[in-house]
Amino acid sequence: MPAMSQTPLAYTPHDHDLCVKSALANAEAICVRQGVRLTALRRRVLELVWQSHKPLGAYDILAVLSEQDGRRAAPPTVYRALDFLLENGLVHRIASLNAFMGCVHPEHAHQSQFLICRNCHTAIEMESQTISEAITAAARSIDFVVQGETVEVIGLCAACRKAV
């Protein structure tokens, strides 16, 4: 699997087919280790989510399953698959977009931190210990115990700033 957490993958040109393939292989391994079943449907949904580095909506997934795969799918089909992937840390939900992104380092539990480009809609996952620590510190100062973070930053990526 390519080193995805160091330089943000979404930025740099890369072999994206390989990128998707390795994400799926990684997911298989994780599911085996966790003793959970990555069924064909769940695998396919994960693949679709991974096929772009942009957040994907549940109904976009649904459309592909219905129109492209010819599967009889209704909303629960997609949401159940997404729930499974979320529970097992294979995707993240982006609340501010009602959309989903493949997780770039699902091996270990972690918080959800994203940079989202307003122009090209690419979402880049961060894993900044500094941000998490700042949040924990701020929370502790008013006696609040953190269970989960949602950090979603909107702005402009390097490529889009150059383009404009």
Partner DNA sequence: AGATGAACGTTATTATATAACTTGGAGATC
Partner DNA sequence: GATCTCCAAGTTATATAATAACGTTCATCT
- Give the binding site for a second copy (CB under 8 A): 7-8, 11, 95-96, 113, 115, 117-118, 124, 126, 128, 130-131, 133-135, 137-139, 142-158, 161
Residue 150's binding partner among a second copy, DNA, Zn ion, none (Cβ under 5 to 8 angstroms by kind) is a second copy
79 binds, among Zn ion, a second copy, DNA, none (CB under 5 to 8 A by kind): DNA
Residue 130 carries which DSSP code? H
43 Cβ partners below 8 Å, 6+ apart?
24, 27, 28
Q: What is the nearest approach in angstroms of a second copy to the Cβ of residue 18?
A: 21
Distance of CA 64 to the CA centre of its chain: 18
Nearer to DNA among residue 4 and residue 88 (C-beta): 88
Closest CA to 79 of 101, 97, 111, 57: 57
- Report the interface residues with DNA, using CB under 7 A: 36-37, 39-42, 57-59, 71-77, 79-81, 84, 93, 98
**Cα 13 to Cα 9, 19, 59, 114, 155, distances in angstroms:** 8, 11, 28, 19, 20
From the list a second copy, DNA, Zn ion, none, pick the one residue 154 interacts with, judged by a Cβ distance below 5 to 8 Å according to partner type. a second copy
Quote the tokens at residue 112: 């959800």
Report, in angstroms and rounded to the nearest whole number, the Rg of the chain calculated over CA atoms: 17
Q: Closer CB to a second copy, residue 25 or residue 146?
A: 146
Closest approach, Cβ 125 to a second copy, in A, equals 11
Cβ closest to DNA, residue 96 vs residue 128: 96
Q: Helices 40-50 and 16-34, interaxial angle, to 10°?
A: 140
